[in-house]
Amino acid sequence: MENKREGNIYDKIVKENIESIIPALMNSVLGFKVIESVVIKEKLQHTKEKEADVLRIITDPSGRKFILHLEFQVDDYKKMVYRMIDYWGLLKSKYHLPVRQFVIYIGDKEPTMKTVLSEDGNYFQFQLINITQFDYLRFLNSTNPEEIILAVLGDFGNEQPEKALSHIIQRLQETKTDQTSLQKYFRQLRILAKLRKLDLKFDDMIQNMAKHLDVENDYFFIKGQDKARQEEKTRFITFLLQEGSRTLDQIADVADATVDFVKSVQRQLSAK
């Protein structure tokens, strides 16, 4: 259950930054040459409303149009092929254009999900792209901070993971974004770094950086890290409260929090 919760957090980070990373993904990962890309904003109506991660009407250099459908996956969802078939049918019937579908896998294990379904005389296939197989330098060399943080999911090659992480942190600083934005990107980087088991190394690096900064910046980094941990803990407790299968004492124990903190989260939920 905790893996599912973490997966949702990773998905959320990708979706928060999706508008900024899509052009780079189409160019350097999918290999598309795009003349025009139009966002499809309508949700797909069926027995229930569906919202895909990314839907675009793409025009290529030859003037041909097609639907680009992307899904980002952290977990190795065994029934993904059925979900993609569902989307394909809805998109095809609504837009009457060719549909190209990709699942961008950002998990920490080799995916084993089926990408082909050949049954009952029918054939369906989508393309699975494992982002961990791409050189992390593709993302690191970007000037876009939303893209740079994806470098932590890439292939470090012969680079030591700690050194690669240090390069990513340095590159984020070089983008010269304001402190509020930099704090957000560091929070997101730390959460994604957990997929590579580098979150504790990230904490050490940030703390070491803080020692060489003035008091104001030292406070910024330390408080930023504290806030990130508290937000992550609050999301976890919220999930456990909504699940409804544990007592407040049990939730406090699982989340490594006080019962009073769990109660405060519960009050915030009730007030919404």
Residue 129: CB partners within 8 Å, gap ≥ 6?
29, 30, 102, 103, 104, 105
Residues 123 and 6 in one domain: yes
- If one counts the domains in the chain, the total is 2
What's the mean pLDDT in 170-187? 83
Residue 38 inside a domain? The answer is: yes
- Whether residue 6 is found in the same domain as residue 122: yes
Give the residue-averaged pLDDT of 34-63: 77
How many angstroms separate the CA atoms of 176 and 182, rounded?
8
Answer yes or no: do 168 and 91 share one domain.
Answer: no
Query: Distance between CA 28 and CA 134 in Å, rounded?
Result: 10
Q: pLDDT, tens digit, for every residue of 245-271?
A: 778 888 887 777 888 888 988 888 888
Domain boundary among 133, 148, 182: 133
Identify whether 155 is part of a domain: no
Q: How many other CB atoms sit within 10 Å of the CB of residue 77?
A: 17
Picking from 133, 151, 171, the residue at the C-terminal end of a domain is 133
In a domain? residue 120: yes
Q: What is the CATH number of the domain that holds 31?
A: 3.40.1350
Same domain, 165 and 104: no
Answer yes or no: is pLDDT of 66 > 90: yes
The verdict on 123 and 184 lying in the same domain is: no
Nearest C-alpha neighbor of 154 from the set 17, 29, 5: 29
Nearest-angstrom CA–CA distance, 258 and 256: 7
Query: In this predicted structure, what is the pLDDT of residue 219?
Result: 43
The answer to whether residue 44 scores a pLDDT higher than 60 is yes
Q: Are 41 and 109 contained in the same domain?
A: yes
Amino acid at 118: S
Q: Which residue has the higher pLDDT, 2 or 141?
A: 141
Q: With contact defined as beta carbons under 8 Å apart, do 44 and 88 qualify? A: no
Q: Where are the beta strands (DSSP E) in the chain?
A: 36-39, 54-59, 65-73, 99-105, 116-119, 122-125, 127-130
Q: Where is pLDDT greater, at 228 or 234? A: 234
Question: Bigger pLDDT: 101 or 10?
Answer: 101
Q: How large is the average pLDDT for residues 218-244? A: 70
Band of the pLDDT at 49, cuts 50, 70, 90?
low
- The verdict on 129 and 164 lying in the same domain is no
What pLDDT does 6 receive? 55
138 domain-assigned: no
DSSP code, position 117: E
Q: Which of 3-7, 47-51, 131-135, 208-212 is predicted most confidently? A: 131-135
Residue span of the structural domain in which 213 resides: 160-271
Name the residue with higher pLDDT: 251 or 20.
Answer: 251
Identify whether residues 95 and 215 lie together within a single domain: no
Residue 173 has pLDDT above 60, yes or no: yes
One domain, residues 10 and 127? yes
Mean residue pLDDT across the chain: 82
- pLDDT for 224: 58
Least confident of 27-36, 218-227, 237-246: 218-227
Q: Does residue 76 sit in the same domain as residue 183?
A: no
On whether residue 223 sits in a domain, the answer given is: yes
* pLDDT value at residue 1: 47
Tell me, yes or no, whether 127 and 170 share the same domain.
no
Q: Is the pTM of this model over 0.75?
A: no
Residues 6 and 128 in one domain: yes
